Copies of this chain bind each other. A is one copy, B any other.
Amino acid sequence: MTMNSKPALETALNHRSIRKFTQQPIEAEVLQQVLTAGQMASTSSFLQSVSVIRVTDMEKRRRLREICAGNVPNGHHYVENCAEFLVFCMDSARHHHYAPEAQTDWIEVLLTGAVDTALFAQNVLLTAESLGLGGVYIGGIRNDIQAVSELLAIPPHVVPVVGMCLGYPDHHPNQRPRLPLSAILSENTYQLADGETLAAYNQTVHEYYQTRKLDLTWQQQIQSSLYAELRPELLAYLQKQGFAKR
């Protein structure tokens, strides 16, 4: 098959998370190519600290959907309905296999492992989008990371960081407006965006959500995300897996 990959810049600028998919499966060669693109991403100290689990077992998909949905009874249908569900793991098990005295419990290893996992995953998503696929990251696998780990037989030194739904898009949502570039970019020294810029952006987000019949500002979104306990079992889990101890 020939693969018609769209320009990277156009693809990135047109990104939207896709949560409704057609029934069309992803061709094996396409999946292989985007995963290979993931592998070609940079990797800190050439450690290649990433593994991917492809979940094809529909009973596991159903259970993953339940975990990701949390308190929303029929939430996260796309975890079951997408063509492919991938779990991207930070992985030091290969390092321990080869170098049993590897010290991977420093928080530095957690940080580079998370970064490398994300670089890999973003190459997968962007190249998939360039080939006409769509997808969405699923942080909800960390809602009950212990249960996910048992479901996928995750051994010590491996952590499922983020999931991803992939498939052929069956909707075309509007893009959410980002902060103005000036609000996140500074030169030589860090500058917090001024209050006026952030207030104007807050209003922009409010207007965007009104088009979706929601009465929501960016401020409210931050509050609803960060004013609660945030996956409080995660640190104990990471330490059990051998990470983030010092």
C-alpha gap A194/B192 in the complex (Å): 49
- The reply to whether B114 and A226 contact each other, CB–CB distance below 8 Å, is no
CA gap between A166 and B234 in the complex, in Å: 35
Q: Is the CB of A122 within 8 A of B118?
A: yes
Count of residues in A whose CB is under 8 Å from the partner chain:
119
Can you list, as one digit per residue, whether each of A29-40 has a CB less than 8 Å from chain B (1) or not (0)?
Answer: 000111111011
The interface residues of chain B lying within 8 Å CB-to-CB of A108 are 142, 230-231, 234
Residues on B with beta carbons closer than 8 Å to the beta carbon of A102 = 222-223, 226-227
CA distance A8 to B3 in the complex (A): 11
Inter-chain contacts of A193 with B (CB < 8 A): 94
The oligomer's copy count stands at 2
List residues of A (218-234) whose CB comes within 8 Å of B's CBs.
218-219, 221-223, 225-232, 234
Complex contact B154–A190 (CB within 8 A): yes
Chain B residue numbers with a CB within 8 Å of A118 are 114-119, 122
What are the nearest 9 A-B pairs in CB distance?
A118-B118, A8-B130, A5-B9, A5-B7, A12-B37, A102-B226, A8-B8, A153-B189, A106-B230
Binding site for B on A (CB under 8 A): 3, 5-15, 17, 32-37, 39-42, 44-48, 50-57, 60, 89, 91-95, 97-99, 101-104, 106-112, 114-119, 121-123, 125-127, 129-131, 136-137, 139, 142, 152-155, 158, 161-162, 175-176, 178-179, 181, 183-190, 192-193, 195, 198, 202, 218-219, 221-223, 225-232, 234-235, 238, 244, 246
